[in-house]
Amino acid sequence: MGRRSEHSRPELREMIVAEGHRQISEVGFAHFSAREVAKRIGYSIGTIYNVFGSYDQLIMAINGRTLDLWLDYLESRLHGITEDRLRVAIDAYFEFAVVHRHAWTALYDFRLADDQPTPEFYQAKVTEITEVIVRELTAVLPSRHAAQARPLARSLLATVHGHCFFTLNGTFRLLGEIDPLAAARERVNDALARYR
Amino acid sequence: MGRRSEHSRPELREMIVAEGHRQISEVGFAHFSAREVAKRIGYSIGTIYNVFGSYDQLIMAINGRTLDLWLDYLESRLHGITEDRLRVAIDAYFEFAVVHRHAWTALYDFRLADDQPTPEFYQAKVTEITEVIVRELTAVLPSRHAAQARPLARSLLATVHGHCFFTLNGTFRLLGEIDPLAAARERVNDALARYR
DNA sequence: ACGCTTAAATAATCAATGTTCAATTAAAAT
DNA sequence: ATTTTAATTGAACATTGATTATTTAAGCGT
């Protein structure tokens, strides 16, 4: 077969990312296969390389989709909430990671080579999620500490990430921690106490 | 060729783990190859399967070696220190991860299948590292909070891990965080302040 | 010293992967 | 209708993890 053009380029991109995301959510990054994605959407492996150029860019696109879903979930969870918004944000962090286990883990399983810069579109998505926390922190911090919102957001993201990661990779189970979410909330509260 | 027995079984195991650790330290988990390890020590791929049974067990052995080195480094850094031992422990956590970048990252890149239990020898090593922190926390916490040492150690490990992970995977650079270690120390101090 | 048993080690083999690319096909342009 | 252009393919390649029949030599008993 040759040129079919049953689907436009953007349509094809979307099909590949959607199917890729479905795949990676199902089998995880370790067993993800670009060929399998091609097969599932009825195209050949060559087409994926035409559209994305490389395996790495395909993964970045799929992980980008995960970040989109994550941000959407975070904002939807916060929508209409008036109290304890930071706590809700932490809960949402965990909830998303647990529900989208494999997709979330893939965000950290995959790393570009050291000489390859993170694509701007991807950076932007990470920044967007961070900015949600900056915003929520700003609302909660005494105004004299407003300048601390951004650095604190980075540090608290890392803190919650660590707890979430140890939950999903089994470290916490191994160590006997049965309520990691509560521990994460405590650490965040401890940090906030510093700026009272 | 057939049975050579130039090396005893334990010797062979050691050769494979040593070379495997060298490899994974050099190229990272993503580009690690069991065949390459076999080639480097002058044996065939089959021999590795004879000795370790599976790829997974080989990786667990190599990661176990990393945990050994990590624990050793942690204790050696603490040796003779009389003040700020917890702070030194945090620094050592970062130092080891940065110096053994690829080997440390491999600890988290690899995960056994959900139905496969973590080998006991590996669990023991993780526990040992954790117990170091429990010990140091116990020495620092007011005695009325001694019972909090273990749960707090788990949570602080996750906290420091998150900061270390975001440092190595580029997230912190992306977000403009230039002193992640300082941030990690702050979070630990914040947690300690809770138990004064 | 010889032959037998047993275990170590190999090489060949398989299926699957990422990656590349010349050949093919059909849409678009002339 | 013919030519040009671009999309799509599928075969080829190098590697990988994994399996297994076969070969080899060490160790043992006689």
Going by C-alpha positions, the residue among B126, B149, B129 that lies closest to residue B89 is: B129
- For the segment A55-64, what is each residue's pLDDT rounded down to a tens digit? 999 999 999 9
| Sign, Cα dihedral of B35, B39, B40, B41 | positive
> What does each C-alpha distance from A157 to A74, A154, A182, B92, B98 come to in angstroms?
13, 5, 15, 22, 20
Decide if B61 contacts B52 (C-beta within 8 A).
Answer: yes
Count CB neighbours of B186 within 10 A.
17
A196 vs A38: CA distance, rounded Å: 55
Is B116 (CB) below 7 Å from strand D? no
Kindly state the average pLDDT of the residues A31-49: 97
Q: Which residues of chain B does A170 touch, with a Cβ-Cβ cutoff of 8 Å? A: 111, 118
Decide if A180 contacts B132 (C-beta within 8 A).
Answer: no
Kindly state the average pLDDT of the residues A16-44: 98
> What does each C-alpha distance from A75 to A45, A70, A80, B119 come to in angstroms?
36, 9, 10, 40
Going by C-alpha positions, the residue among B17, B173, B34 that lies closest to residue A111 is: B173
B18 pLDDT band, cuts 50/70/90, is very high
- For the segment B82-100, what is each residue's pLDDT rounded down to a tens digit? 999 999 999 999 999 999 9
Decide if A146 contacts A138 (C-beta within 8 A).
Answer: yes
A3 pLDDT band, cuts 50/70/90, is low
- Residue B2 DSSP SS3: coil
Decide if B27 contacts B106 (C-beta within 8 A).
Answer: no
Q: Of the candidates B154, B162, B184, which has its C-beta nearest A175's C-beta?
A: B154
- Residue A7 DSSP SS3: coil
B128 vs B110: CA distance, rounded Å: 20
Give the pLDDT of residue B6: 81
B46 vs B39: CA distance, rounded Å: 11
- For the segment A116-164, what is each residue's pLDDT rounded down to a tens digit? 999 999 999 999 999 999 999 999 999 999 999 999 999 999 999 999 9
Give the pLDDT of residue A93: 98
Q: Of the candidates A109, A166, A176, which has its C-beta nearest B161's C-beta?
A: A166
Q: Which residue of A has its CA nearest to B171?
A: A126
- Residue B101: phi, psi to the nearest 5? -25, -65
Q: Identify the H or E element spanning A166.
A: helix A149-168
Q: Straight-line distance from CA A6 to C1' D1, in Å?
A: 25
Q: Straight-line distance from CA A196 to C1' C1, in Å?
A: 91
Count CB neighbours of A31 within 10 A.
12
Give the pLDDT of residue B1: 43
Burial code (b: 16+ CB inside 10 Å, e: under 16) for B57-89 equals bbbbbbbbbbbebbbebbeebbeeeeeebbbbb
Which residues contact residue A187 at a Cβ distance below 8 angstroms, ignoring those fewer than 6 apart?
A156, A159, A160, A163, B155, B159, B187, B190, B191
Burial code (b: 16+ CB inside 10 Å, e: under 16) for A6-19 equals eeeeeebeebbbeb
